[in-house]
Chains A and B, each alone.
Chain A
Amino acid sequence: MSLLAEVLAPSFLLHHAVYGSLAVGFVCPLVGVYIILRRMVFWGVALPQVSAAGIAAALMLQGLGYAWLSGGEAGERHLAIVGAVLFTGAAILALAWLERRGGSVGDGRLGALYAAAGAATILCVAWNAAGETEMMGLLKGEIVSISESDFHAMINAFAAIAAGLFLFQKELLLVSFDRDMAVTLGRSVVVWDALLYLMVGLTVSLGVMTVGPLVIFGLLVLPPMAALPWARSMGALSVLASLAGGLSALGGFLLSYSYDLPLGPVIVGAATAAWAASAALRALVDLRNGGRAAP
């Protein structure tokens, strides 16, 4: 496969886009597994939009001439990351705090947040003529241009998140599956929830920088959904979901590069196809096994 060799070569012009998409493709579903199992899908919708709003706000500030904020050309990319992380972090803190205080309108709050973040993104772009191309690129799934060292830091962050999820899988499973049990075993539910939220927040904000909010939402949800009917353990669920996401990203990139299509929708399309194929195959297998419904 010369095409594969071509795009994976370090000298490839778009190597940030390739490796960024692959990192996101493999790591996002690992976090997404918990989002699906904890039935937090609305978080997965709202948070990428909030990250996008953070990036748009950062680009707007810079476009309005607050160059002192960014400290020049290289720094402006730092600013986009800072915007994404700050907005996402603030949103998660506020949501977690409200959730602990109780109340039954959690989904409503997330819906409201999504709407507000979407509007804020568009307004920030409107007030900032210079940022429009960059932001449109982001919404199409193009990577925000960042320096080589920032790119490496980002890939390392994804690796750290994957390692954290692996190392603490027991704790994260325990507090997700049975919080009360976790407390009786002396585990701090707050600490482990905070760690999970931190990893969700980092994955989303770094991921949105890389491939835009649409792809992040898609990769948080679709690969775990594709893996769920086949997984017989948490480990299998994570591995299958990660593979489905990574392969969707790679396939999406190859398709988008070969046919000159926008990257984001093609990755999401590939992940959707994986999910549809998985669901259809599961239904077929169950039919043959005597009509037992998929779990």
Chain B
Amino acid sequence: MKPPLLRFRHASVGYGSSPVLTGVTLDVVEGNFVGVLGHNGSGKTTLLKTILGLIPNLKGEFAARGKAGGAPRFGYVPQKERLDPLYPLTGRDVAAMGTYRRLELFRRLRGLAREDHIAECLADCGAAALADKRFSDLSGGQKQRVLIARALAAEPEVLALDEPLSGIDVTTQRALIKLLKHLKEERGLTVLMVSHRVHVEKDLFTHVVWCDEGKAHSGETGEMLKGRLGEMFRGEM
């Protein structure tokens, strides 16, 4: 078995002195497609932020190890509502941010253009036509495509998406799910996807993390659905 990319052991995640989830024990292995599920306020975003290194884990053990030894390269797709529409940015401008890693200055001085790479990422996400449109004018689904392209532009090992399907019509949701499946296969990505719904993406996830009442229950999707959680999911629908 491959060593896990992400590993939690009896960890607590949360803010300052108030943990949101406790006793988190969880492995994410390369190639997994993990659904992080739970009701609003159950701690899904908090768990994701810990994984991304945006907040420290409060207790226990958390390790993230990518191919190069250190933390894996993350491609982050935040909740689109968080981005301020005031900025005059095109789809291409937003996607280009994926390439703003450290040392970019040296590349820039060497005149190494990243235009092709950015255009390719946009095209892979079906967003080539959005490159010159104003980002804040795009529909929810279009924004999501641009944000996924931005994450890809960072050449990630792990793609982490926060509620990518919320506020989007069902047809577009299906198209986005298809896109994510395709990208995962094509690029050999590990994917973490936060969602407060369950039924739509059931056949998408290899693994599920169910956040509920301060605990994170995790396992293979099939196993999870057979047990107690399966009944709960069915009850929910």
Q: Is the CB of B83 within 8 A of A177?
A: yes
Judge whether A163 is part of the interface by a CB distance below 8 angstroms: no
Judge whether A67 is part of the interface by a CB distance below 8 angstroms: no
Q: Which of A197-244 contact B (CB under 8 A)?
A: 228, 231-234, 236-237
Stretch of A23-31, A84-92, A138-146, A178-186 at the chain-chain interface = A178-186
Q: Which of B210-228 contact A (CB under 8 A)?
A: none
Judge whether B106 is part of the interface by a CB distance below 8 angstroms: no
Bound form: Cα–Cα A173–B97 in Å: 9
Report chain B residues within 8 Å CB of A173.
Answer: 87, 97
Q: Is the CB of B101 within 8 A of A186?
A: yes
Q: Is the CB of A181 within 8 A of B88?
A: no
Q: Is the CB of B136 within 8 A of A174?
A: no
Judge whether A170 is part of the interface by a CB distance below 8 angstroms: yes
Among A37, A170, A236, contact of B87 (Cβ-Cβ < 8 Å):
A37
Q: Closest approach, in angstroms, between the C-beta of A230 and any C-beta of chain B? A: 9
**A180 in contact with B100 given A233-B89, A233-B90, A234-B89 (CB within 8 Å):** no
Q: How many A-B residue pairs have CB under 8 A?
A: 75
Report chain A residues within 8 Å CB of B8.
Answer: none
Q: Is the CB of A183 within 8 A of B52?
A: yes
Chain B interface residue count: which class? 20 to 34
Report chain B residues within 8 Å CB of A295.
Answer: 85, 88, 134, 136-137
Q: Is the CB of B104 within 8 A of A228?
A: no
Report chain A residues within 8 Å CB of B150.
Answer: 181
Bound form: Cα–Cα A183–B52 in Å: 8
Report chain A residues within 8 Å CB of B87.
Answer: 37, 173, 176-177, 234
Q: Is the CB of B86 within 8 A of A184?
A: no
Judge whether A39 is part of the interface by a CB distance below 8 angstroms: yes
Q: Which of A185, A231, A236 has the most CB of B within 10 A?
A: A185
Bound form: Cα–Cα A237–B78 in Å: 25
Judge whether B188 is part of the interface by a CB distance below 8 angstroms: no
Query: What is the chain A residue whose CB lies nearest that of B71?
Result: A186
Among A39, A183, A186, A233, contact of B54 (Cβ-Cβ < 8 Å):
A183
Bound form: Cα–Cα A36–B53 in Å: 29
Q: Which of B125-161 contact A (CB under 8 A)?
A: 134, 136-137, 150, 154
Judge whether B33 is part of the interface by a CB distance below 8 angstroms: no
Q: Which of B52, B76, B134, B154 has the most CB of A within 10 A?
A: B76
Judge whether A132 is part of the interface by a CB distance below 8 angstroms: no
Q: Closest approach, in angstroms, between the C-beta of B193 and any C-beta of chain A? A: 16
Report chain B residues within 8 Å CB of A234.
Answer: 87-89, 93
Q: Closest approach, in angstroms, between the C-beta of B54 and any C-beta of chain A? A: 5
Bound form: Cα–Cα A236–B90 in Å: 12
Q: Is the CB of B89 within 8 A of A184?
A: no
**A187 in contact with B88 given A178-B83, A180-B76, A180-B78 (CB within 8 Å):** no
Report chain B residues within 8 Å CB of A182.
Answer: 100
Q: Closest approach, in angstroms, between the C-beta of B59 and any C-beta of chain A? A: 21
Bound form: Cα–Cα A183–B100 in Å: 11
Judge whether A171 is part of the interface by a CB distance below 8 angstroms: yes
Report chain A residues within 8 Å CB of B54.
Answer: 180, 183-184
Bound form: Cα–Cα A270–B137 in Å: 31
Q: Closest approach, in angstroms, between the C-beta of B235 and any C-beta of chain A? A: 34
Q: Closest approach, in angstroms, between the C-beta of A241 and any C-beta of chain B? A: 11
Bound form: Cα–Cα A36–B87 in Å: 10
Judge whether B62 is part of the interface by a CB distance below 8 angstroms: no
Bound form: Cα–Cα A233–B136 in Å: 12
**A177 in contact with B84 given A170-B100, A233-B93 (CB within 8 Å):** yes
7 A-B pairs closest in CB distance: A231-B88, A184-B74, A184-B76, A185-B101, A174-B100, A186-B102, A170-B100
Task: Identify 13 new A-B residue pairs, CB closer than 8 A, beyond the known A173-B87, A232-B134, A295-B88.
Answer: A170-B104, A173-B97, A174-B97, A176-B87, A178-B97, A180-B49, A183-B52, A185-B98, A185-B102, A186-B102, A228-B88, A232-B90, A234-B89
In the complex, 20 of the A-B residue pairs with CB atoms within 8 angstroms, ordered by the A residue number, are A37-B84, A37-B86, A170-B104, A174-B97, A177-B87, A177-B97, A178-B83, A178-B97, A180-B78, A184-B52, A186-B102, A187-B102, A228-B88, A231-B88, A233-B88, A234-B89, A234-B93, A237-B88, A295-B134, A295-B137
